[in-house]
Amino acid sequence: MKSDPTQPPERSGSAATRRHVPVLLAEVLDALAPAGGQVFVDGTFGAGGYSAAILDAAACRVVALDRDPTVIAAASEMVATYAGRLTLVGAPFGTMAVAVREAERADGLLVDGVVLDIGVSSMQLDQPERGFSFQHDGPLDMRMSQSGPHAGPSAADVVNTLEAEPLADILYSLGEERRSRPIAKAIVMDRAKTPFTRTKQLADLVCRVLKTPKIDGRHAATRTFQALRIHVNDELGELRRGLAGAERLLRPGGRLAVVTFHSLEDRIVKDFLRTRAGRVPQGSRHGPAVLGPAAEASGPAPSFRLEVARAISPGEAETARNPRARSARLRWAIRTEAPPWPDEP
């Protein structure tokens, strides 16, 4: 979802390397506007497509984060290619405000741009052993970090231990699965005989419950797998923490660009940026709504300025080339001189 595996390898930088081309790459570069001497944060490194494009666009530096240890290990050649201009940090992007400053050994560091590409990468989807895909049988895992301090319970742990009601709540709230209760009840009944350990085992159950292999042209288990993946990796909580971290890291005039792939993520980004830009009502919920600059009297000063009100979608050529891009949305904004807003309780 995060990158385009259908594209040929590009030649850029000082060496020829095989790279995925990320979704909405030209639009993200336009939003970030890299220039020489600047410092950028790629909070979701993945295959390194955004980092490479930023580094190729200007004589700047990138500090990239990824919580998947296999990603960090696989990127050594790219780090060498950019000879001191690319720093990789093995950490979730929700910790970027601390992790980047520790990596740079600069407590008060402010950066010129942050890019986030939310969701699972094509590399992870295409590796059956990671357990993200219902298209190929593999261990029912779905963790972006399968080892180390950032590893937590797997998808198998979730479906084999939760009761039907909380399991149904996850499928409905994070996957928008309308048949969440019948699916959850069937999982609980089946696991009493045989615990769930494989992706095909779960995908087959969902197809059985929904009585069809496809819904609206997509695999019937799509929503169930999405919900479990988001839950296992706390993706929505990570996104909220990442947005707040970017707000603290960006200098005045710095730019934040976020690419999302489904409505839950896009809604969080939209609400965050609109709120931080003073575009939503503030003050008493019983009083008249106040919009824009006038709202500053009852809340913090806007910490972002929206340059584009609507989300940017891929064009027809990109979606034809890469069907995984069809649901992508880009939102971006520019940091103001106002201090970061207080952390939400």
Instruction: Give the CATH number of the domain where residue 283 resides.
Output: 3.40.50.150
Domain match, 301 and 267 both? yes
CA distance linking residue 110 with residue 96, whole number of Å? 12
**pLDDT-based confidence at 121, cuts 50/70/90?**
low
Domain boundary among 209, 232, 255: 232
Q: Is residue 131 part of a domain?
A: no
Q: Are residues 104 and 11 in the same domain?
A: yes
pLDDT (0 to 100) of residue 64: 97
Q: What one-character DSSP code corresponds to residue 342?
A: P
Q: Is the pLDDT of residue 73 over 80?
A: yes
Q: Does residue 294 or residue 171 have the better pLDDT?
A: 171
Query: 223 with 242, same domain?
Result: no
The domain in which residue 190 lies consists of 145-232
Question: Are 65 and 111 contained in the same domain?
Answer: yes
pTM: 0.85
Using alpha carbons, list the distances in angstroms from residue 203 to 58, 198, 214, 279, 324.
45, 9, 11, 42, 20
Could you tell me if 198 and 241 lie in one domain?
no
Report whether 105 contacts 248 (CB < 8 A). no
Confidence of residue 135 (pLDDT cuts 50, 70, 90): confident
pLDDT score of 289 more than 70: no
Question: Model confidence at 144, in pLDDT bands (50, 70, 90)?
Answer: confident
Nearest partner of 113 among 16, 37, 200, 208, judged by Cα: 37
pLDDT cut 70: percent of the chain above it: 83
Number of domains making up the chain: 2
Mean pLDDT on 152-165: 95
Sign of CA pseudo-dihedral 137, 174, 248, 253? positive
Does 223 share its domain with 249? no
Half-sphere exposure of residue 11: CA atoms within 13 angstroms, side-chain side = 1
Angstrom CA distances, 261 to 8, 117, 144, 234, 306, stand at 23, 9, 17, 16, 20
Residue 68 confidence class, pLDDT cut points 50, 70, 90: confident
8 Å CB contact between 22 and 2: yes
Same domain, 36 and 119: yes
3-state DSSP call for residue 115?
Answer: strand
Coil/strand/helix, residue 112: strand
The answer for 304, left when phi > 0, alpha when psi is -120 to 50, beta otherwise, is beta
